[in-house]
Structure 1
Amino acid sequence: MSSHNKETVSIEFKPDDFLPAENHSIGIDRVYPAQSYWKDVLSSFLKNKGAAAGFIAIIFVIFMAIAGPYMNGYTYNEQIIANQNLAPRVPVLERWGILDGSETMSTSTGKVTVNRYTDPKKTTGLENTYYWFGTDVLGRDIFTRTFMGTRISLYIALVAVLVDMCFGMSYGLISGYFGGTVDNAMQRFAEILNGIPTLVIVTLLMLVLKPGLATITLALAITGWIGMNRVARAQVLKLKEQEFILASRTLGAGDFYLIFKEILPNIFGQLIIMSMFSIPNAIFTEAFLAFIGLGVPAPLASLGSLISDAFKSFTTHPYMIISPVVVLAVIMLSFNMLADGLRDAFDPKMKEM
C-alpha cells in the first residue's frame, strides 16, 4: 500500500469577508393590508380623473341649483319689460371688455355693436344694473331661470334613480328568479309597455292630467324602469344556480331572502351603474318634451323650455340659448363620466373588453 501525503490547506478569513445582513439589499415580500370591497371600489374610482371630475361637476351643479336663484335680487318669474333683451353683464369682467353688456346685432345697414345698459336714449339709466346671463324677451333674469330649470333636471334625475332602484330592480329580480310562467308573463308585459313611445304616453297623459311636472314624472315612471328590469333579470339568471345560492336554499332560506340578501348584494354594483346611465336619458327626455311644448307650464322653466324659448330669438340674441345649453350639456356629460367611472370601479375587467 502506498501512502499519500495529504496537504492541509489553511484558509484565513479577513475581517471584511463577512458583513452584517442589514447592509445588504435583500428582497423581502411586502405585506399589503387587507381592505374591504367598498374601499377598493372607492380607491379605483378616485384614481379615475374623468369620473372624479364628473362627480365634482355634479356637486357644483347641485350647489348652484340650490343657491343660484338667490345670488342676485331677481326671481325666476319677475318681468321687467324695460329691461328686456339685455346682454350679459358681469361687474368684474366688464373692466376687461368681457361680458360688459354689449352685443353685435345685424341690421339692414350691417352689423352694429350696441350696449343697452348705457344707451342714452333710455329714460332710466342701467349703469348700476347687472344681469350675469342677460335677460329674455320679457325682461326676466336668465341666470335665475337657468338654475331654477336645473332644479327640475336634477329632480328628473332623482326620479329616474328611484324608479330604477325601487321598481325596475325589484321587477327584474323577481322575474328572473322565479322564471318559467312568471318570468314569461312579466317580461311580455314589460315589452308591451316598452313598445309604446314615451311621447305618445306623455301626450295621452296631457289630455287626462294637467300639464306639469307631475305628468312628466308619471310618464317617466311608466316606462323608465324597463332597462333596469332587463339588467337585473340577466344578472339573476346568471347567479341563481350558483353554489352559494344552492347552499342557502338547502339550509332553508326563503325565496325573497335569497333574492334580496344573497343575489342583490352581488349585483348591486351593476345596478348602480345602470341607474347612473339612465339619468342622462331621463334628463334629455324631459328637455325634449319641454322643447316641443309638453313640459312644465309657464312661468316655471326647465332647461328644455328655456332652450325652446331662446331658440326663437337665436338669430338676434344668441346669448339667451348659451347658458341653458351649457348647463344641460355639463349635467349630462358629468353623469355619463360618473357612470363610466363607477363601471370601471365596480368591474375592472370591463376595461379590457
Structure 2
Amino acid sequence: MNRTEYSFSPEDFEFVPKDNLLPPEEIYNTQSYFKDIRKRFTANKGAVAGGISILLILLLAIIGPMLSGHTYYSQNITHQNLAPRIKLLEGIGIFDGSETITTSTGTIEQNKYISEDTSITTGLEEVYYWFGTDVLGRDIFTRTWEGTRISLYIAFVAVMVDMCFGMIYGLISGYFGGRTDMIMQRFAEILNGIPTLVIVTLLILVFQPGLLTITIALAITGWIGMSRIARAQVLKLKEQEFILASKTLGAKDFFIIFKEILPNIFGQLIVMSMFSIPNAIFTEAFLAFIGLGVPQPLASLGSLISDAFKSFTTHPYMIVFPVIVLGIIMLSFNLMADGLRDAFDPKMKEI
C-alpha cells in the first residue's frame, strides 16, 4: 500500500483563546470527622452560648465561695434578712441594700445596713452582701455557688452513670438479643416502674440524707433511658454488611460491640447523655425542695429555693438568685445538647 506522508507548518496551527481554556483541577483538602463536628457546633450560636455559660458557671462554682469572704455555714443573727448590696452599684441606686416589704398595713421601704437616725450606727455601714442574707444571717452568694457545685456534681454523676453503665447495658442487650435481651429488658422495665421518690425514701431508711443517697438513687434508675437508646442503635446496625464481614473474618462479639458498633453510635450516645443532665439536676432540686436533699448546713440550689420559698412574700430576693442560676444551668445544658445533636447528625435537624 502506498503510504501518504503529511507535513505540517506553523501556519496550520492557531492558539486557543483563553476563554476556551478548561479550568484547572481543584484540589479540596480533606477534613476530619471531628473537625467537621466542631465546625457545625461552632456555627450554632445557641450551642456556643450554652457552652460558654456552662464554663462561666463552672468557674464561679470553683472560685465563687472564696470571693465574698464568708462561708456557706457561718451564721450571724445580727445580719439576718439583709437585702443585696454591691459597693460598685449602690451609688446609682441599685443593689444598695434597700428593699420594699409588703405588710398587712401596706408597703415599707427599709435599708437595714443604714439606720434612719444618723446619730445611731448599725455596724453594717461597711458590710456588703452581694446576694443578701437569709433568715439565719448566712451569705446567699456563697451558698448559691456552693449549691451550684452540688448541681454540677449531679451532672457529672448522671453522665458517668449513662456512659459507664447504661451504654454498656444497652449494647450487650441489643447485640446478643434473644433470651438475653428479653431478660435484661424485663429487669429494666421493672426497675423503671419504681418511682424515684420511693427509691430515695427507702434509701433514707438505710443511709442518712445526703449526696450519697442521691447518687445511689441516680445510679439505680438514671441509666435506663440511655440503655434503651443504645439498644435501639445496636438493633439498627448489627445486621449491616460491615458487621457481617467482621463476623466472617472471625471477630469476637465484644470486639464487634466496642470496635465496630460503638464508634458508629458514640455521637448519639453523647448527645443523649447531655440531654439527661438537666433532668438529673432537676431531680436533685426537687428532692431537696421536698426535704430529701443534702442536710444542713450544706446547700444545694434546690434546698436554697425550698428555704427561700418560706420567705418569698417578704424577702423575694432570697429565691431569685438560686432560681436564676438553676435556670441558666438547665438552659445551657439543653442548648449545648441541641447543638451537639445537630453537629453529630445534621439530618436530625430536618426531621
The TM-score range, normalised by the shorter chain, is over 0.9
TM-score, normalised by the number of residues in structure 1: 0.92
In the alignment, which of 251, 276, 280 is matched to residue 249 of structure 2? Answer: 251
> Structure 2: how far apart are the matches of 1:73 and 1:138?
17
1:92 alignment partner, SS class: coil
The residue aligned with 1:342 is: 340
Measure how far apart 1:124 and its partner are: 3.6
The residue aligned with 1:146 is: 144
> Structure 1: how far apart are the matches of 2:234 and 2:326?
35
The residue aligned with 2:323 is: 325
Say if 2:25 is the partner of 1:32: no
Structure 1 spans left out of the alignment, 5+ residues: 1-16
Say if 2:73 is the partner of 1:95: no
> Structure 2: how far apart are the matches of 1:82 and 1:271?
52
Q: Is the 8 A contact 2:113 2:122 kept in 1?
A: no
Measure how far apart 1:183 and its partner are: 0.2
In the alignment, which of 243, 262, 265 is matched to residue 264 of structure 1? Answer: 262
The residue aligned with 2:183 is: 185
The residue aligned with 2:295 is: 297
Measure how far apart 1:107 and its partner are: 2.8
The residue aligned with 1:68 is: 64
2:27 alignment partner, SS class: coil
Matches within 5 A, 1:176-255: 176-255=174-253
Question: How far does the alpha carbon of each residue in 1:88-133 deviate from its partner, in whole angstroms, 9 at most, with x for none?
Answer: 0011111110111000012343212111110257764211110000
> Structure 2: how far apart are the matches of 1:29 and 1:277?
45
In the alignment, which of 163, 166, 170 is matched to residue 165 of structure 1? Answer: 163
In the alignment, which of 65, 71, 80 is matched to residue 76 of structure 2? Answer: 80
Equivalent residue letter for 2:128:
Y
Equivalent residue letter for 1:63:
L
> Structure 2: how far apart are the matches of 1:218 and 1:282?
12
The residue aligned with 2:173 is: 175
Measure how far apart 1:19 and its partner are: 9.7
1:103 alignment partner, SS class: strand
Instruction: Decide whether aligned partners of structure 1 residues 41 and 124 sit closer, same or farther in structure 2, where only a CA change above 3 A counts.
Output: same
**24-33 vs 124-133, which deviates more?**
24-33
Equivalent residue letter for 1:214:
L
1:127 alignment partner, SS class: coil
1:52 alignment partner, SS class: helix
How many positions carry a matched residue from both structures?
Answer: 336
> Structure 2: how far apart are the matches of 1:321 and 1:75?
19
Measure how far apart 1:24 and its partner are: 9.2
Equivalent residue letter for 1:47:
A
2:179 alignment partner, SS class: helix
Measure how far apart 1:208 and its partner are: 1.1
Measure how far apart 1:27 and its partner are: 5.8
Instruction: Decide whether aligned partners of structure 1 residues 299 and 34 sit closer, same or farther in structure 2, where only a CA change above 3 A counts.
Output: same
Aligned-residue RMSD, C-alpha: 1.7
Equivalent residue letter for 2:71:
T
Equivalent residue letter for 1:57:
S
TM-score, normalised by the number of residues in structure 2: 0.93
> Structure 2: how far apart are the matches of 1:30 and 1:54?
38
Instruction: Decide whether aligned partners of structure 1 residues 26 and 132 sit closer, same or farther in structure 2, where only a CA change above 3 A counts.
Output: farther
Equivalent residue letter for 1:77:
Y
Say if 2:308 is the partner of 1:316: no
